[in-house]
Structure 1
Amino acid sequence: MSGAAPPVRPGRQDQRLEPLMTVAPYVILAALVVVTLVVKRGAGGSLLIDLGLCATAALWMLWMFTWHPAWRERVAVMAVFFAGLVVLIGVLVLRDPWFGLFTPAGYFYAFGVLVWPWRLAGVSVVAFESGMAQVAGIPKHNAFGVALTVVVLAVNVVCMCGMAWWEWDVDRKNVERVAALEQAREANRRLQATLAENAGLHRQLVVQAREAGVLDERQRMAREIHDTLAQGLIGIVTQLQAAESAGDVPERWRAHFAAATRLARESLAEARRSVDALRPEPLETAGLGEALAGVADRWSALHGVTAQVTTVGTARPLASETELALLRAAQEALANVARHARAGTVTLTLGYLGSEVTLEVRDDGCGFDPSAPRVPAPATVGPEPEAEAEAGSGTEAEPGSGSDTEAGGGFGLKAMRERIEGLSGTLRVESAPGSGTTVSACVPQETVEAGA
């Protein structure tokens, strides 16, 4: 009978034992009063004493329990009530053995108003009184009578104490089960609150990330506009003002007007490059293979060099970042061929392999020694400004690409490498004097699948 007592109120079992504690004791006591009247109808004083004890027991139960329900929650009051009742039952049993039939009322109150472990003591006392009533007729002057008395008393006490312990154990387990369920409900409430809080934080982080991305893009575009379009427009305004001031000198007027025209064309080309940096128009209307074919056709028509596009493997959707990086790599490679290679044929090979996607740009030009320092080649005579401006949207890479080709590559080649390596890919340039040049870009399959 180890373990902590369940933290319950003294009257916790009132609902189950309510009829047994409020009605049954009076019914049993009334029946025993009738029996006493019948048995002792001629006993005189003894009958009056028994009736007085019965009346006292009835009044004790009425006053201490029935008429004051609030007292049932008070441990000390109920202990006094039960002790007084046990004394009255013991006196009645000692006077007349048939009052042993009143001991069930003691059990009812022991289970109903006593807390553990006092309940065990109360049940033991009532069981002892019940046993004494049962052995009242057994002679106790011999060993057999004494042994039989002890056995009867022991059976009563052990059985009722065992029942009390079993009831207490069930009650304890029920309390623990209720406490565990409440803890589980509380844990679920906390988990739901945590999940709701995490969801709110996730939404907040998504919003902040989106706002940060928008802010970064705005700042980038602001820098682009400031460094290109705004400066070009300022120059145009300045040249037009100077041309207006030199109206009487035709040579100066024409020079300023030509400079303003040139700045306007350069600003237009820069605007087109900025738009292409957001999303190239060829990729909006076609896949990567078709976009490369379109870029190669326009480049070939502009420079008079044959350009062929070949696709190896089964084409599949790629991440927009992957398509943009490969298209820019092709444009930069073609721009470098036009500036430096003096090639007759260029081959672009787009490969969809099992674990990667590759782009190879090979020319049959003069080639170069990648390990040797290179001096920027003299500027070649290009097409008319109008044709160059129109071709800028399809053949140029990004602003400043291919502006120089010193050892290690110019800004265009550097930007190409950064784009490819930013996708966990690799960029390789192979060349030798008189053997042409090959630019190979490779993006691993993981990057392709992540963005597909």
Structure 2
Amino acid sequence: MDRPRVMAVFFVGLLVLIGLLVWCHPFFGFFAWSGYLFTVPALRGRWRLAGAAGVAGCTAVSQIGGFGILAMAGAWIPFLIILAFNIGIAVAMTFLSMVNSDHAARRAELLRQLTEANDKLASALTENAGLHAQLLVQAREAGVLDERQRMAGEIHDVLAQGLTGIVTQLEAADQAAGREHDRRRHLDTAKRLARDSLTEARRSVQALRPQPLAGAALPDALAEVVDGWSARNGVSAELITTGTAQPLLPEIEATLLRTAQEALANVARHARAGRVALTLSYMEDLVTLDVRDDGAGFDPARRRTEQYEGGYGLTAMRDRVQRVAGTLEVESEPGAGTAISACVPALHVASAA
């Protein structure tokens, strides 16, 4: 079946044999029907129809009584009628057989392709199961790492800032040993900072919102932080809010508040500034927080570890802002102050619901 030329020669030989048998005796026409059995398997394309017509011609000759009848007068008209009838039926049946054969071949090819696709799908599912398990492990590890970073930021924002303020107040109390009123004021401030830091540490462990944001809007919470910082450090500080303030997702508001706290802590530790200005700007798709001071400034190109203890301040702010798909820009130069700008998406509580 896979050698078309050999099969074509075989069919031609079979057709010649049928013709010779009919030539010998018309009774051998009963053998002619066997030619139809090999028409579709042995031939290709339209040659099948020609083969069927040849078999039909031999059958028609046997039906009229053999080749000798054709020599008689008036025998051609009935022969042509019988020939046309046989060819019509043979060609029609062969054509239907060809259509069915083609459909069967296409179905077999589709089944083969489907089987191959199913095998590939099964292999892909097995591979995906392994990848899924690997992704779960990686996601778990990423979640652990992200939680560690969050806790590191919380510890730095809460404990480090609080302890720095407490140490500053205690040192000021030691320097005011001869002034009881000032000494008592510094000690009271240190106690208040210790209590606030303890409360914030507990809230951070429980992954709750920062204390100033509990029951307060972000501008009000920032104003409270700015006023408290200004009173403790004796530096003039103001908050300006532009745009229409709207409730944001807790993660967004907490990020902006922590950024402001860290920026103010850096000003208190390093800037020696006389004035600080914070601008909270609400825009359509973004919310920005700018913190500017007129302090000593620094060279942003230098490593943070060369300028700040531990070098964690700006790194913590940048990591925190990036976790909410925001950006942090720092502009500064020695003797010209520092400007920090945090830009975060304005994800409102209502739109996220």
**Structure 1 residues 185 and 413: alpha-carbon distance in aligned structure 2, compared to 1, 3 A threshold:** closer
Counterpart of 2:94 in structure 1 is 165
Residue 412 of structure 1 corresponds to which residue in structure 2? 313
Structure 2: which 5+ residue stretches go unaligned? 5-10, 154-192
Distance 1:194 1:314 in 2: 56
- The answer to whether the Cα contact below 8 Å between 2:328 and 2:342 also exists between their aligned partners in 1 is yes
Q: 1:428 offset after TM fit, Å?
A: 2.4
Question: Within the alignment, does 1:94 sit opposite 2:19 as a pair?
Answer: no
Q: Post-superposition shift, 1:140?
A: 4.4
Counterpart contact for 1:138–1:149, Cα < 8 Å? no
Which letter maps to 1:331?
Q
Distance 1:272 1:348, change over 3 A: same
Summarize the alignment of residues 370-385 of structure 1 with structure 2, pairs less than 5 Å apart: 370=298
In structure 1, the residue matched to 2:263 is 333
Work out whether residues 260 and 291 of structure 2, in 8 Å CA contact, stay in contact via their aligned partners in 1.
yes
TM-score, scaled to structure 1: 0.45
Answer whether contact 1:351 1:359 (CA < 8 A) is retained.
yes
Instruction: Write the distance in 2 (CA, Å) between the matches of 1:222 and 1:313.
Output: 32
Partner SS for 1:367: coil
> Is 1:427–2:307 an aligned residue pair?
no
Select the structure of larger CA radius of gyration: 1
CA displacement 1:300-325 (0-9 Å, x = unmatched) = 45445564433322445657665444
Normalised to the residue count of structure 2, the TM-score between the two structures is 0.55
Percent sequence identity is: 24
Answer whether contact 2:56 2:87 (CA < 8 A) is retained.
Answer: no
Alignment check: 8 A CA contact 2:291 2:339 kept: yes
Q: CA deviation at 1:351?
A: 1.2
In structure 1, what is the equivalent of residue 160 of structure 2? none
The number of equivalent residue pairs is 288
Q: Deviations over 1:265-301 (max 9, x none)?
A: 99x9699669648665235665544442342344345
* SS of alignment partner, residue 41 of structure 2: coil
CA drift of 1:413 comes to 3.5
Distance 1:315 1:336 in 2: 27
Structure 1 residues 409 and 140, CA gap change in structure 2 (3 angstroms)? closer
| Kept in 2: contact 1:138–1:145 (CA 8 A) | no
1:367 maps to what in 2? 295
Alpha-carbon RMSD across the aligned residues, in angstroms, is 5.6
Cα pair distance change 1:353/1:409, threshold 3 Å? farther
User: Which one-letter code corresponds to 1:439 in the other structure?
Assistant: A
Matched with 1:116 is: 41
Question: Shift of the alpha carbon at 1:330?
Answer: 0.7
1:335 aligns to what SS in structure 2? helix
Deviation at 1:418?
Answer: 5.1
Contact 1:288 1:323 in 2 (8 A): yes
The alpha-carbon distance between structure 1 residues 218 and 300, as it changes in their structure 2 partners (threshold 3 A), is closer
Q: Alpha carbons of 1:346 and 1:314: their partners in 2 closer, same or farther (altered >3 Å)?
A: same
Q: CA deviation at 1:175?
A: 0.9
Structure 2 partner of 1:347 = 277
Q: Which runs of 5+ in 1 are unaligned?
A: 6-78, 225-264, 373-401
Q: Residue 287 of structure 2: SS of its match in structure 1?
A: strand
Q: Distance in 1 between matches of 2:137 and 2:297?
A: 49
- The correspondence of residues 285-364 of structure 1 with structure 2, limited to 5 A, is 288-303=218-233, 307-315=237-245, 322-339=252-269, 340-341=271-272, 343=274, 346-354=276-284, 356-363=286-293
Q: Hey, what's the Cα distance between the residues in 1 that align with 2:83 and 2:295?
A: 114
Q: Which amino acid aligns with 1:313?
A: G
Question: Separation in 2 of the partners of 1:181 and 1:166?
Answer: 22
Contact 1:332 1:412 in 2 (8 A): yes
Whether the 8 Å contact between 2:286 and 2:344 is mirrored in structure 1 is yes
1:44-443 aligned at under 5 Å gives the runs: 94=26, 107=33, 116-117=41-42, 124-125=54-55, 127-134=57-64, 140-141=70-71, 151=80, 155=84, 158-183=87-112, 185-186=114-115, 189-190=118-119, 193=122, 196-197=125-126, 200-201=129-130, 203-216=132-145, 276=204, 281-282=210-211, 288-303=218-233, 307-315=237-245, 322-339=252-269, 340-341=271-272, 343=274, 346-354=276-284, 356-363=286-293, 367-368=295-296, 370=298, 406=307, 411-417=312-318, 419-420=320-321, 423=325, 425-430=327-332, 437=337, 439-443=339-343
